[in-house]
Amino acid sequence: MHRYILKRIAFLIPTILGVTFIIYAVLNITPSSPGQAILGPSASPAAIEEFNHQVGYDQPFLTKYFNYVKNMVTKADFGISYFTKQSVFNEVWPRFMVTIKLSLSGVALAALIGVPLGILAAVKQYSLLDTIPSVLSFFIAAIPSFVLGMVLLLVFAQQLKILPSYGLDTWRHYIMPILAIAIPPAAQNMRFTKSSMLEAIRQDYVRTARAKGAPERTVIWKHALRNALMPVVTQIGMSLGLLICGSVVIEKMFTLPGIGSLIIDRINFKDEPIIIAGVILISICFTVVMLLVDIIYAFIDPRIKAKYSNAKG
């Protein structure tokens, strides 16, 4: 098991190298240059060339790539922003933390709402405790989070004026963005948990547990739930990964200093170092989340643990 985890962590290295290479390549294929983008249309070609030379953009693609990777690995140096001339790490890290804070609390809330409702709906199938949340979640799952965000803004900031509409100064600022992030995946989680639980309840081993004389609560919690959790854990892990990459819209809408909006802003200026550093952080995060999902699997299901342990070599 430990070896498996180490192996997975070691696999991060080629992942990151691959990601940097692809991003670098894409940025260098596109026609504009940082000088053009930052100095604007009125700048003379000489000034643009001068700027590109200064920041090091005009070096050959492969040289640039190897230097970047070398500095990153040996000095933990992610370079200097073309646009602000600030250290990239100092710019990216605080914004990354904002995104992580929002996504983690959003996913946690989505799990806390969705999973218990899903279990309840499955256990009380065909009752009102099943039909009402199921129909609601059907509609909510179909609403994109930016529409939900706008509705929240309209109601709580514009009409009721009880919540602030932008910034992240107090805890009250977090309420609407987190709700907007959490509610659509909560509905997904509910539907997922319900179907997975329904399937688990119909399994033979659940009937065996009943035949042993186990009361319904034991049957559900001890026998059905643990087996039903596997796909739910995957779903939650996936939604965390997607949120980290995809919360740009929510960040823009609530004017939050997150990493998604930073990357989008700097793409306009072709600020390579910032874009790449941001993408690297996101991809590390995604890989780590997926690794965590796999580790949780092993704790839930002994068969998977056995597979990991056997696959050492």
Q: Which residues bind other proteins (CB under 8 A)?
A: 125-126, 203-205, 207-216, 218, 222-223, 226-227, 300-303, 306
200 or 262: whose CB is closer to other proteins? 200
232 or 263: whose CB is closer to other proteins? 232
4 or 297: whose CB is closer to other proteins? 297
37 or 219: whose CB is closer to other proteins? 219
220 burial (CB, 10 Å; 0-12 / 13-18 / 19+) is: buried
19 or 201: whose CB is closer to other proteins? 201
Task: Give the shortest CB-212-to-other proteins separation in angstroms.
Answer: 4
Task: Give the shortest CB-286-to-other proteins separation in angstroms.
Answer: 27
Task: Give the shortest CB-203-to-other proteins separation in angstroms.
Answer: 7
- Which region, left, alpha or beta, applies to residue 166 given φ > 0 means left and ψ of -120 to 50 means alpha? beta
Longest Cα–Cα distance in the chain? 85
Contact predicate 73/261, CB 8 Å: no
CB 289: neighbour CB atoms within 10 A? 21
**Phi, psi for 162 (deg, rounded to 5):** -105, -15
Task: Give the shortest CB-23-to-other proteins separation in angstroms.
Answer: 41
Give the dihedral sign, CA 107/113/115/121: negative
152 or 224: whose CB is closer to other proteins? 224
- Which region, left, alpha or beta, applies to residue 208 given φ > 0 means left and ψ of -120 to 50 means alpha? alpha
CB 283: neighbour CB atoms within 10 A? 20
Task: Give the shortest CB-214-to-other proteins separation in angstroms.
Answer: 6
Task: Give the shortest CB-209-to-other proteins separation in angstroms.
Answer: 7
- In angstroms, the Cα distances linking 54 to 11, 48, 57, 206 are 35, 10, 8, 69
